[in-house]
């Protein structure tokens, strides 16, 4: 199935009262695992790669083109509606390269930039992306991060509904990520969501809303968030953590005698990385059910 434009998928989710998951991949194993989950659940899905944790040297030395081409190759035989996102690039130039590299959805990680700078860069990205059928997301408001056992909110601020509406009008983005209490990279507990703020944002902004920090987002607030305009949840940390735990667990059973060629990168039953892949698939399947996108393909 060819890639589906993200705005079409987000509009369908809004109309039918469910949300899409964007499950962040980092290589072919993780992307295949997400696709396997979506196919098993017969769910539309946003797949893709996140740039924010990757080294600029690698991204700028052909990494973006490698991610685009390898993702497109895996999406070639995909049987469910999918959109392909290059998430949170460090620069405008990287996102523009993503447009040329085969992604049909792009985003700059601009939430810590001064607003005028972010607005100009996002408007330029929209001008480069829309004429070739590529959609753009931006974040307005800035999420705290969780690391080393504590929340870092030094740069964080919640989304202001009026300012968000101005940002959307000035840039022409297709989807707006908002800060309403959600926290990036949070594994220790659940974030507390300000549903009143979300409601005010929905009333002011006419594009579908996205929630980043899906790992720590409280499952009990998912339905309320969807009813208040959220059409996309981003999940990252939980997938990588589950992958790593499963691979480490599998490596403990290594006697030291089996062929390393079977164990590393063989795509056979004995492949350590396949254990991580199965863990991702199970987690994504349960989240697709939580977001209500199962059975909607």
Torsion of CA 113, 116, 121, 124, to 10 degrees: 170
Minimal distance, residue 234 CB to ligand 13P, in Å? 4
Nearest to ligand 13P of 272, 283 (CB atom): 283
Q: Is 182 or 250 the residue whose CB approaches ligand 13P more closely?
A: 182
Listing DSSP states for 90-149 in one string gives SSHHHHHHHHHTT-SEEEE--TTS-HHHHHHHHHHHHHHHGGGT-EEEEEESB--EEETT
**Residue closer to ligand 13P, measured from CB, 25 or 215:** 215
Toward ligand 13P, which CB reaches closer, 164 or 250?
Answer: 164
Burial (CB < 10 A; 0-12, 13-18, 19+), residue 72, is middle
* Structure-token pair, residue 41: 């659940």
Smallest distance, ligand 13P to C-beta of residue 187, A: 8
Nearest distance from C-beta of residue 270 to ligand 13P, angstroms: 30
Shortest reach from residue 227's CB to ligand 13P, in Å: 21
Our CB check for ligand 13P shows the closer of 88 and 271 to be 88
d(CA 60, CA 94): 7
**Nearest alpha carbon to residue 207 among 122, 124, 286, 266:** 122
In the bound complex, what is the minimum distance in angstroms from residue 109's beta carbon to ligand 13P? 8
Buried b / exposed e over 204-214, threshold 16 CB at 10 Å, is bbebbbbbbbb
Give me 98's structure tokens.
Answer: 């993503």
Only one residue has tokens 């549903």, namely 195
Residue 32 contacts residue 277 (beta carbons within 8 Å): yes
Q: 233 or 272, CB closer to ligand 13P?
A: 233
258 φ, ψ (degrees, to nearest 5): -65, 155
- Tell me how far, at minimum, the Cβ of 216 lies from ligand 13P, in Å: 6
- Identify the residue whose tokens are 């004429």: 131
* Closest CB to ligand 13P among residues 81, 214: 214
CB of 186 to ligand 13P, least distance (A): 6
Q: Which residues bind ligand 13P (CB under 6 A)?
A: 24, 50, 87-88, 184-186, 212-216, 234-238
């Amino acid at each position: 199935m060819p890639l589906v434009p993200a705005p079409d998928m987000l509009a369908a989710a809004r109309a039918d009262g469910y949300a899409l998951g964007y499950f962040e991949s980092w290589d072919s194993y993780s992307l295949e695992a997400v696709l396997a989950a979506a196919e098993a659940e017969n769910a539309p899905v946003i797949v893709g790669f996140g740039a924010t944790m990757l080294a600029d040297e690698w991204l700028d030395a052909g990494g973006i083109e490698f991610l685009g081409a390898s993702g497109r190759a895996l999406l070639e035989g995909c049987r469910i509606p999918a959109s392909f996102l290059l998430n949170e690039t460090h620069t405008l130039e990287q996102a523009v390269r993503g447009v040329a590299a085969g992604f049909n959805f792009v985003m700059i990680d601009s939430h810590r930039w001064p607003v005028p700078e972010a607005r100009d860069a996002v408007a330029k990205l929209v001008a480069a992306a829309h004429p070739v059928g590529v959609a753009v997301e931006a974040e307005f408001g800035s999420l705290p991060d969780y690391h080393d056992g504590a929340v870092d909110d030094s740069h964080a601020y919640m989304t202001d509904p009026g300012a968000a509406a101005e940002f959307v009008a000035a840039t022409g983005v297709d989807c707006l990520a908002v800060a309403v209490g959600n926290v990036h990279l949070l594994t220790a507990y659940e974030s507390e969501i300000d549903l009143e703020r979300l409601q005010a944002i929905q009333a002011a902004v006419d594009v579908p809303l996205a929630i980043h920090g899906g790992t720590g987002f409280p499952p009990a607030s998912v339905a309320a968030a969807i009813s208040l305009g959220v059409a996309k949840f981003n999940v990252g940390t939980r997938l990588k953590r589950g992958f790593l735990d499963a691979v480490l667990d599998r490596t403990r059973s290594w006697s030291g005698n089996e062929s390393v060629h079977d164990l590393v990168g063989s795509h056979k039953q004995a492949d350590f990385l396949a254990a991580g892949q199965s863990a991702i698939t199970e987690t994504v399947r349960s989240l697709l059910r939580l977001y209500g996108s199962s059975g909607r393909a």
